[in-house]
Structure 1
Amino acid sequence: MLERGGTIGILGGGQLGRMMAMSAAELGYRCIAYAPEGDNVVSCVCDDVFTNKWDDTAALAAFAAQCDVVTWEFENVPVATAQAIPADRIFPHPRALETAQDRLAEKRFVEGLGGRPAAYARVDSRSDLEAAVDRLGAPGILKTRRDGYDGKGQWRIGSARDADALRLPDVPLIYEGYVEFEAEFSVILVRGQDGEMRVWDSTRNAHEGGILATSSLPAGLAIEAQVDEARSLAEQVADALRYVGVLTLEFFATKEGPIFNEMAPRVHNSGHWTIEGAVTSQFENHIRAVAGLPLGDTATVARGVTMTNIIGDAITTAQDFLGQPDTHLHDYGKAEVRQGRKMGHVTRLER
């Protein structure tokens, strides 16, 4: 167990790290970050920030020497960077990054545990894409196997003609067949160092332009009927990875049951509602887990919850939300406003 006043290192400098650091401070810990990219909005709540490159071994060693434990706030931290931290001081283990950073490896891993992803095919060439569209049909989605988020690194293929016209990027790709679904939802759980697991209620997630727009509770009958099966898979994933911290699996609710979409080995946008809407937020429970503390209650505290992302220049009028009852604004403090960028979120509770 990490004693009061201990130091938690965070790999990454975005809003997820910022909210983790805020929870860490409330539990009596100090945080430092290693964040070579972006606005580094974590800096205002950390004691120090290393802005060195991910492969700067000397800087990583100096960073690790100041930390009692280390975690990460986004899944594109290079695996080699995470592996540079002593294995007994980094949570989750870097094997979770290795699994989640390659969409092909991720789907095969989940299939090995009995999960059902959308039909998929590996694409390394134009002939591979043609064969994938021929076998799986269209529409479908072509994705980069690595990187990409919020709709980036993805191309919708409506027909074989679309596939022929597309200029393929020179990176490994994966083609996913179309999934007819009733709703999208996520399972967010936390697993402690002793293997104890707790799970939050699953929200109905709505996306616009590939970016999460809202997460809401109650989630509806279509999701509620499939949550238990999805939770069981998520728990198997966490145990197989010997995971420590918050883990998220995204699903489609379909007539055939839950279809696995993707995994995020971190706190997740669809769990931001837990700050005000649950007894213990995802951020606090992540810190509790990596610090070796007892996990907190994940029960929902309101009859209804809606979390809305604030995208791009909508942040300039975000304070207008505060005129609504039981509404909570989170401005991430990002200096650069641009289209499609998550600038904050607002959560409204119905008691």
Structure 2
Amino acid sequence: MDNRTGLPVVGMVGGGQLARMTHQAAIALGQSLRVLSEKADDSAALVAADVRIGTHTDLAALREFAKGCDAVTFDHEHVPTAHIAALAAEGVKIYPGAEAIVFAQDKQRMRERLAELGAPIPRWRPVTDTSDISDFVAEHGLSWPVVAKAVRGGYDGRGVWMVGGAEAAADLVGTGTPLIVEERVPLRRELAALVARSPFGQVAAYPVVETVQQDGICVEVLAPAPGLSEALAVQAQQLAIDLANALGVVGLLAVELFETEAGIFVNELAMRPHNSGHWTIEGARTSQFEQHLRAVLDYPMGETSLAAPAVVMANVLGGQPGGISIDERLHHLFAEDPGARVHLYGKQVRPGRKIGHVTVCGDDMTTVRARAVRAARWLQEGS
């Protein structure tokens, strides 16, 4: 508890843009988020008042960081499970707990647990030797390519490979990376269902969104998912709620989904604020960042309905060096489209790196999407 305000202190492990935007939500709740950041110039460390420098792999640093926190949470899934369990055993309220977050850290454990729960997932198997991928293809009568994934550590397209044949499979297995292999699902598009759950067990679900991927990176989010039937939307929301309850998630759970002719399949899980929910800052009655804080503090959940009929978030990626400054680009963008809402993360620009996002709200999805994409491209390219 903060003795100056009488309000709780939430600590977030990780100093990236998710912590930065969670800090912004904490301000409205009278709080200043405590951040464990590896560097003083990380995205959240540039704006939060209470920043501790340390690494998420250092148990001693985590223990020191947690002192005085009413709850501890994360802006990424890379904290060792054993460290989370150790802190919980010492009385730290840490969310999500080790028994839940392991299913976001370990893709093999996730697939095994989802199969036990009867959740819809692609056909898959663990990979232990060079023949496993070829045997998987033959066993299920699949065609190449198939999808290989690193069991741990992959994100934004990293740790995922399209394997086109037996020789490529042998080369990949030969790297020694622990892998699983999955069928390549004939998807129509990708969706995401975002829910939040409190320790009390209250759950709140956001409208299901469509996510648009480019080179393994989410570049657009469309809320609500255009043309999605009410029945399939309710199914996706209920699936996310059921998984949050079954896995014991506290905080946000993002369920990344494939939509196919046969229905929906679970692709990935994330247990933290998620790129597919950035649109909620302007586009929902309660942002995902405030909702995450409410959840870990066991506050009642906020309203999740849309603030406009159509909302689109477009990620701003780093462009090539040169051109007019980002400040000048903002001047021009705001003059051209005053309704575009820009969030820049304070990151050094590198080509392809997420450095911010733009959200546009309106009545017509086609128009709103064009504005958001145009704004993000302008901030990236300056043209």
Q: TM-score range by the shorter chain?
A: over 0.9
Decide which moves more: 12-21 or 307-316: 307-316
Shift of 1:220: 2.3
Once the two structures are aligned, what percentage of the paired residues are identical? 37
- Other-structure match for 1:102: 106
| 1:47 to partner: Cα distance | 2.5
Amino acid at match of 2:186: E
The one-letter amino acid paired with 2:237 is R
Q: 1:328 aligns with which of 321, 341, 353?
A: 341
Distance 1:33 1:81, change over 3 A: farther
Secondary structure of 1:107's counterpart equals helix
Q: Counterpart of 2:293 in 1: which secondary structure?
A: helix
Select 2:186's aligned residue among 177, 180, 184: 180
Distance 2:207 2:228 in 1: 14
Work out whether 1:293 is the aligned partner of 2:299. Answer: yes
Distance 1:215 1:318, change over 3 A: farther
Instruction: Indicate how the Cα distance of structure 1 residues 94 and 38 shifts in structure 2: closer, same or farther if over 3 A, else same.
Output: farther
- Amino acid corresponding to residue 221 of structure 2 in structure 1: S
Query: Rg larger in 1 or in 2?
Result: 2
How far apart in 2 are the matches of 1:173 and 1:57? 27
Aligned twin of 2:25? 23
Q: 1:127 to 1:32 in 2, by over 3 A?
A: same
The SS at the match of 1:126 is coil
Distance 1:225 1:208 in 2: 28
Contact residue 4 and residue 29 of structure 1 kept, 8 A: no
* Equivalent pair of 2:202/2:300 in contact (CA under 8 Å): no
**1:77-116, Cα deviation, whole Å (9 max, x unpaired):** 2213323433551122222221211111101211222211
Shift of 1:225: 4.2
The equivalent position to 1:342 in structure 2, one of 340, 354, 358, is 354
Q: Which residue of 1 aligns with 2:132?
A: 128
The answer to which structure, 1 or 2, has the higher relative contact order (CA under 8 A, 6+ apart) is: 1
**What's the CA shift for 1:4?**
4.3
Q: Could you tell me how far apart the structure 2 residues matched to 1:82 and 1:261 are?
A: 25
- State how 1:42-191 maps to structure 2 within 5 Å: 42-86=44-88, 87-136=91-140, 137=142, 138-166=144-172, 168-191=174-197
* Partners of 1:51 and 1:223 in 2: CA distance: 47
CA distance in structure 1 between the partners assigned to 2:29 and 2:121 by the alignment: 38
Q: Given the superposition, is the C-alpha separation of residues 309 and 318 from structure 1 closer, same or farther in structure 2, using an over 3 Å criterion?
A: farther
Determine the C-alpha separation between the residues in 1 that align with 2:197 and 2:289: 13
CA distance in 2, matches of 1:349, 1:83: 41
- The range that moved more, 256-265 or 308-317, is 308-317
Which one-letter code corresponds to 1:119 in the other structure?
R
Q: Does the Cα contact within 8 Å between 1:326 and 1:350 map onto a contact in 2?
A: no
When residues 321 and 203 of structure 1 are mapped into structure 2, their CA distance, relative to the original with a 3 A threshold, is farther
In structure 2, what residue type is equivalent to 1:260? V
TM-score, length of structure 1 as denominator length? 0.92
The gaps in structure 2 that reach 5 residues or longer are 364-383
Q: Closer, same or farther in 2 for the Cα pair 1:294/1:123, shift >3 Å?
A: same
Equivalent of residue 14 in structure 2, options 12, 33, 41: 12
Describe the superposition over 1:179-234 as per-residue Cα deviations: whole angstroms up to 9, x where unpaired. Answer: 01111100001112221111111111110000001001341234654222222221
Q: 1:282 aligns with which of 288, 306, 310?
A: 288
Distance 1:205 1:38 in 2: 32
Compare 69-78 and 51-60 and name the one that shifted more.
Answer: 51-60
Instruction: Give the TM-score taking structure 2 as reference length.
Output: 0.85
* Alpha-carbon displacement from aligned partner over 1:1-25 (angstroms, at most 9, x marks no partner): 9984321110111100111111112
**Alpha-carbon distance in 2 for matches of 1:140, 1:184:** 18
RMSD: 2.2
Equivalent in the alignment of 2:317: 311
Q: Quick one: which amino acid aligns to residue 207 of structure 1?
A: Q
User: 208-217 or 233-242: which moved more?
Assistant: 233-242
Question: SS in structure 2 opposite 1:43?
Answer: coil
What SS does the aligned partner of 2:114 have?
A: helix
> Aligned partners of 1:241 and 1:89: how far apart in 2?
17
Correspondence for 1:262: 268
Residue by residue over 1:276-302, the C-alpha shift from the partner in whole angstroms, topping out at 9 and shown as x without a partner, is: 000000001111111222211000010
Amino acid at match of 1:65: K
